[in-house]
Structure 1
Amino acid sequence: MLKLYTRLLQTKAQAKIKCMPVRNVQVSVIGAAGELGSNVSLLLKQNHKIKRLQLYDDDEKVIGAAIELNHLPGGAIVSGFAGDDLNEAIRSSQLILMVHRIPRKPGKKREAMIAANAPSLHKLCRAMADENPDAFLAIASNPINSMVPFASSILYKYGIYNPFKVFGITQIDINRTRACTAKALKVSSNNLFVPVIGGHSDETIIPLFSYMTPVEYTVDPCQADSLTHLVRKIGTEIVFRKQGTEAAVAAVAWSINEFCDSLIDAINGNEVDATCYIANPYFGTRFFAGHSTIGPYGVIRPFRKIPLNDYETFLVNRSVPIINSDVSLGEDHVKILIPKL
């Protein structure tokens, strides 16, 4: 009986090993020494699909962060890089994640945020041109509406731009909408999903409550308007509650990790659906966020127009000029930062 029980345990263990996905993806996190970067790195360390985790920052304390993460049992092998080692940090990575950001301050204008965060993103794009032009690039640096077009323009000028492999991470908008809507309806957010389209700013986030699932959950027009304003302003409220010292960190890190997990599945050969801000010409602007299908070579099907109710149509029509303006701000900054490129 004991032998039979032992054999049964061995069989279950072997079956579990066979079901475990192979660790075969290398991910680079740029800006890993910051509060957001360190939280994202901790979450990615636990991802069983990642073989190597490369952490980079201008601040040399990232080396200590990498050593600390390697003291955790299991998970990816973590390496730390600083200063002039950016090329080495992104070498051979299939996914490069840009999380470096200057903390958001109350009342800070888009132009100031672009000027603060663009140099680091430019440095990364230049390193990608030299070292790793084929990687997926996922950007979490604000303002995303402008930084994704900025990076795209830089990569184009360096001759390596692939519009199917550059992503703005807007997963936090999905999670905030789910949480706020679930609270309003007094249901579990685990059992609720609301698509979010548009951009990633107070004026361009558009929850589509008409497509909320399960279909038995509904909100009236007044609730839809109130929840839309809540989701759009909640990031600003967090900045004020933190007394202007830092924007949202924990929830954003969690959301970035979720999105990266989807990209890793795509890199591994699967078709996945994920919400992101990408090159998208179907809404009257060259970049737009929505539910898109991604595969091993990048975006397969970007989000396209679907029937919307009057309120959602109004929000889209009002957001498109703002997104176009944000795109222009990002692209124009290329000329300011590197006029001779």
Structure 2
Amino acid sequence: MTIYKIKNLRFYPKTLLYFYFGKILSRNYHVTIVGGGNEVGQSVALSLRTQPLISKLIVHDTVKHLPGIVLDLSHIPSNSAIEGYVGNDTLESAIQNSDLIIATGVTENPGLSAKAAFNLNIDFIKTLATCAAKVTPVPLIGIVTEPINILVPMAAEVMRNNGEYDPRKLFGITGADFLKAKALYATENNLKPENCTVPVIGGHSKETVIPLLSQVKPSCNWDQKKMEEFTVKFRSREELTRNVMKGWSPILSTVYSVSTFVQGICDALQSRPTILHAYVENNDFGTSYFAGLLNVDQNGAGEMQRYSNLSQFECDLLERCIEQLRKDVVKGKKILEYA
């Protein structure tokens, strides 16, 4: 029987909280959640609190109530350490020596318009990317902040401008698309989700995400109309959820995808074969950024899976997707010109 107790509690400038629970066993990796005080960040922190390969979970934000969030998380028995940092001037300290950074950001809700959330997230990612470029070695970075199509290229440009950028280490976390497609396909065909695979490629927006029904397993005998209906339903799922939630952005499936992403990264760092769904810098598909299933190892993103024998419907979607992704990437880079 393991008894957990607080060994020490220290306060640092900007109310850094540090709790250490028990003895660290085989956990090896430090994960930092930047934006850990918002709704998404808190949920991500909860999901990662007891992940077996995380030896230290670090939570950073600028909100004054962050120490209370960290204290609350410390009440969850875990053999990992947890730290909290408050304020932009503590950001570099928070991410120093981290193996992985998760950036959350704010989401659209009835009190925060899409435009306002976008502007806040621009500043958030710009600050993080600038700081991350100063850290040696640069950790792996997973961005779940919306809009991913735009903010990931912007983050890359910020880091490149600050002299430290490795495209293998920057990810847009898009696993929710892959999981959503699997769940919806299983429901439509009365199958068990664990027995289904639905590749999803493109970007991370209604106009750019593409479920490849020609590549599903087990295969379906749907006609063209049924495939088009499924694609429309899949692409509209987030909008439908937001409407049902009376204007609140869906976050639970996103948080679950972040948890699986972190687990996958930890596996990759341990040299285990890992495949993750992510939006990364990739020039193989007609645009400089693209999402899909990719191999990940200790160095970060590797080769992305490719597919042949796409249907004409999928080819048409892909053509329009690439056109939109090019615009999104340019927008992400041009934001910096007016900042």
The root-mean-square deviation of aligned C-alpha atoms, in Å, is 2.0
Deviations 1:119-174 (A, max 9, x none): 01111112112234520010001111101100010010011110111100111101
In structure 2, what residue type is equivalent to 1:187?
L
Separation in structure 2 between the aligned mates of residue 287 and residue 105 of structure 1, nearest angstrom: 31
Matches within 5 A, 1:1-341: 22-83=26-87, 84-103=89-108, 113-215=117-219, 217-244=220-247, 246-304=248-306, 306-337=308-339
Distance change in 2, residues 1:107/1:203 (3 Å): farther
Note the C-alpha offset of 1:53: 0.3
Q: Is the 8 A contact 1:145 1:323 kept in 2?
A: yes
Separation in structure 1 between the aligned mates of residue 110 and residue 282 of structure 2, nearest angstrom: 30
Q: Is the 8 A contact 1:205 1:232 kept in 2?
A: yes
In structure 2, what residue type is equivalent to 1:64?
G
Structure 1 length-normalised TM: 0.87
Q: Is the 8 A contact 1:45 1:75 kept in 2?
A: no
In the alignment, what sits opposite 1:11?
none
Note the C-alpha offset of 1:66: 1.4
Q: Is the 8 A contact 2:134 2:164 kept in 1?
A: no
SS at match of 1:85: helix
Separation in structure 2 between the aligned mates of residue 107 and residue 85 of structure 1, nearest angstrom: 26
In structure 2, what residue type is equivalent to 1:280?
N
Separation in structure 2 between the aligned mates of residue 76 and residue 88 of structure 1, nearest angstrom: 19
**Unaligned residue ranges in structure 1 (runs of 5+):** 1-19
How many pairs align? 315
Distance change in 2, residues 1:281/1:44 (3 Å): same
In structure 1, what residue type is equivalent to 2:329?
V
Note the C-alpha offset of 1:309: 1.4
Separation in structure 2 between the aligned mates of residue 148 and residue 158 of structure 1, nearest angstrom: 15
The structure in which a higher percent of residues are helix is 1
**Unaligned residue ranges in structure 2 (runs of 5+):** 1-23
Separation in structure 2 between the aligned mates of residue 34 and residue 152 of structure 1, nearest angstrom: 24
Structure 2 length-normalised TM: 0.88
Stretch deviating more after TM superposition (301-310 or 132-141): 301-310
Q: Is the 8 A contact 1:170 1:275 kept in 2?
A: yes
User: Which aligned runs of 4 or more in structure 1 are off by greater than 4 angstroms?
Assistant: 104-109
